[in-house]
Amino acid sequence: MEKVDRRVKRTHRLLGEALIALALEKSYDDVTIRDITERADVAYITFFRHYQDKNDLLTKLLQEMLDELERLTHEDNRATEGLLIFQHVQQYAAMYQMVLSSESTLPVRRRIRDSIAAHLIAVCTPLRNVADEMDVPLEIIAHHKAASLLALIEWWLEHNMPYPLERMAEIYNRLILDSVMHLIC
Amino acid sequence: MEKVDRRVKRTHRLLGEALIALALEKSYDDVTIRDITERADVAYITFFRHYQDKNDLLTKLLQEMLDELERLTHEDNRATEGLLIFQHVQQYAAMYQMVLSSESTLPVRRRIRDSIAAHLIAVCTPLRNVADEMDVPLEIIAHHKAASLLALIEWWLEHNMPYPLERMAEIYNRLILDSVMHLIC
DNA sequence: TATCTTTTGATAGTCAGTATAACATAAGTA
DNA sequence: TACTTATGTTATACTGACTATCAAAAGATA
């Protein structure tokens, strides 16, 4: 645990808070770096002393959020997986909305998708028998599951969460988990 | 059938060809409007006399391509649906790659997705019995199918089409169509 | 072919937003 | 207190989108 200069810590916090607040007011894409530094009461140039660009800041903000989800779903109690995911999404709804609705966050969205897919591959590879030539490749199944989950989350958020998270978890189980499991086992 | 000035027709063609050629050389996002007009040997300002911005040009290029797909899948012979789709994607691979891999085409991607979803809803609504409260809502199923299809296409293109289109059609049937049909009927 | 209409081109300029340099000052650390 | 590091100020370069104006060229029409 290295000590970080209090000023650095404060700058990071101020810039992060400013970005989130501004992205909620207008849209992520419309937020300029000047907006962020002015809202944070920080010099413009200071932004570039800490981050390469706006996406870099967003990515770092997202990191711990995703780590937390990773920790939650790692225990992998298949019965509650959907519940945990949608609880988490509801908790960080603003952040997810930001990532899923803005034009310029494709790399971030890709990283989320790929990490979900990689997780499934890691879990399933040892379980799977010798690959049948006729089977759907595991890599494609994993990609499909990850993309479907993100699409479901996106739908929920874009429609302002019309169903409670418990219902979404159930839908997730039927729509995605069941059909994926059917193909794997 | 209205007559279009030959100059207009020529300008449209030149700008469209230039965008596609340039997007293949670098990436769509890195292509500037000045690039396009220079490649097309057309005055910079002329671009704005025809299109609002780069995405507007792309959208109009995409339109007829999608109309063609719509026509093909409208007859909806479920057995050959996957085959038709992946034939079409292979034929227009460059365009699909452009749309699916660039950061700034989220609106275009959304439109494709939503039109696929709308089609499924139109086809299935009359077939479906009174909605069971426990069922997965048709709207979500449609959104899921559209997003999954796009994800599968994306995977195929990003990995440089490692399987022939016939195999992809088969995967599409098992991974997406079967599970969706299972939930609808 | 002559006339009229529309499109195009050249030029110059505005604007927003990103990014960097140099030096002075303030805040934190030990 | 002395030293180190982060921050602020100011000025500047640069890219790319977008517009205005006026002259010239190409096409449509009769």
Q: What is the pLDDT of residues B80-112, one digit of tens each?
A: 899 999 999 999 998 999 899 888 889 889 988
Q: In terms of CA atoms, which chain A residue is nearest residue B180?
A: A175
Closest-CA distance of chain B to residue A97, Å:
14
Which regions of chain B does DSSP assign to beta strands (E)? Answer: none
Predicted pLDDT of residue A71: 87
- The DSSP symbol for A129 reads -
Could you give the CA distance from residue B184 to residue B182 in angstroms, rounded to a whole number? Answer: 6
Fold of B1-51: Arc Repressor Mutant, subunit A (1.10.10)
Walk along chain A (185 residues) and give the pLDDT tens digit of each residue: 678 899 999 999 999 999 999 999 999 999 999 999 999 999 999 999 999 999 999 999 998 888 888 888 877 677 889 999 999 999 999 899 989 988 888 988 998 899 889 988 888 887 776 556 668 999 999 999 999 999 999 999 999 999 999 999 999 999 999 999 988 87
Separation in Å: C27 C1' and A53 CA? 26
- Would you say residue B179 has pLDDT above 80? yes
With contacts defined as CB-CB under 8 Å, which chain B residues touch A103?
A: 103-107
- pTM for the structure as a whole: 0.89
Could you give the CA distance from residue A99 to residue A28 in angstroms, rounded to a whole number? Answer: 8
Predicted pLDDT of residue A1: 63
- Would you say residue B134 has pLDDT above 70? no
With 0-12 / 13-18 / 19 or more C-beta atoms within 10 angstroms meaning exposed / middle / buried, residue B41 is exposed
Separation in Å: D7 C1' and A104 CA? 29
The number of C-alpha atoms within 13 Å of A92 and in the hemisphere containing its C-beta is 19
Predicted pLDDT of residue A129: 63
Predicted pLDDT of residue B4: 87
Q: In terms of CA atoms, which chain B residue is nearest residue A106?
A: B103
Fold of A54-184: Tetracycline Repressor; domain 2 (1.10.357)
> Contacts for A73-77 with beta carbons within 8 Å, 24 or more apart?
A73/A119, A76/A123
B81-105 burial: b if 16+ Cβ within 10 Å, else e: bbbbbbbbbeebeebbbbbbbbbbb
User: Helices B81-91 and B165-172: crossing angle, nearest 10°?
Assistant: 140
Identify nearest nucleotide to residue A9 by CA to C1′ distance: D6
With contacts defined as CB-CB under 8 Å, which chain B residues touch A155?
A: 140, 143-144
Q: What is the pLDDT of residues B1-33, one digit of tens each?
A: 678 899 999 999 999 999 999 999 999 999 999
- Would you say residue B77 has pLDDT above 90? no
Predicted pLDDT of residue A155: 98
Predicted pLDDT of residue A87: 96
Predicted pLDDT of residue B131: 59
Contact A11, A50 (CB under 8 A): yes
Could you give the CA distance from residue A27 to residue A25 in angstroms, rounded to a whole number? Answer: 7
Q: Which ranges of B93-177 does DSSP label H, i.e. alpha helix? A: 93-101, 106-124, 138-158, 165-172
Which residues, including other chains, have CB under 8 Å from residue A107's CB and lie 6 or more apart? Answer: A55, B103
The residue ranges of every structural domain in chain A are 1-51, 54-184
Separation in Å: D20 C1' and B44 CA? 14
Higher-pLDDT residue of A111, B143: B143
Higher-pLDDT residue of B124, A23: A23
Closest-CA distance of chain A to residue B158, Å:
12
Contact A39, A21 (CB under 8 A): yes
